[in-house]
Amino acid sequence: MAESNGGEPTVVVDRRSGGGMGLFLLGLAVGAGIALLYAPQSGADTRADLKRGARKIRRKVRDLAEDTSDAAHDLSRSARDAAREARDMLERRLARHQRAGATDEDEDIGV
């Protein structure tokens, strides 16, 4: 990269060694080795614990899905019942209004 410094160009050289990635991989390997040395249980026990945890989570998800499905079904039934009641009430009011309107019309024409 060239920069102007009082009329004279200045060149800045940035040197990078590939040690960043190598140090990262070395740290990763050392960390994994220490984790294996200090692991509280064997790999088979850890896998068994993971399987148990997965089964427990699967059961909880299944139960939650069933509960959600039941709640949705109940809500749908309630909404359907409320809509039916509203329709019935509207039909009764409409019929009452039509009867009242017919009576007023009958009176207007002298029936």
Long-range CB contacts (within 8 A, 24+) of 19-25: none
User: What is the per-residue pLDDT for 111?
Assistant: 45
User: What is the per-residue pLDDT for 105?
Assistant: 55
User: What is the per-residue pLDDT for 14?
Assistant: 64
- Per domain, the residue ranges of the chain are 2-109
**pTM given for the model:** 0.44
Residues of the chain with pLDDT under 50: 1-2, 111
Instruction: Answer yes or no: are the C-beta atoms of 84 and 91 closer than 8 Å.
Output: no
User: What is the per-residue pLDDT for 1?
Assistant: 47
User: What is the per-residue pLDDT for 102?
Assistant: 67
User: What is the per-residue pLDDT for 35?
Assistant: 84
Contacts of 11 (CB under 8 A, 6+ apart): 1, 2
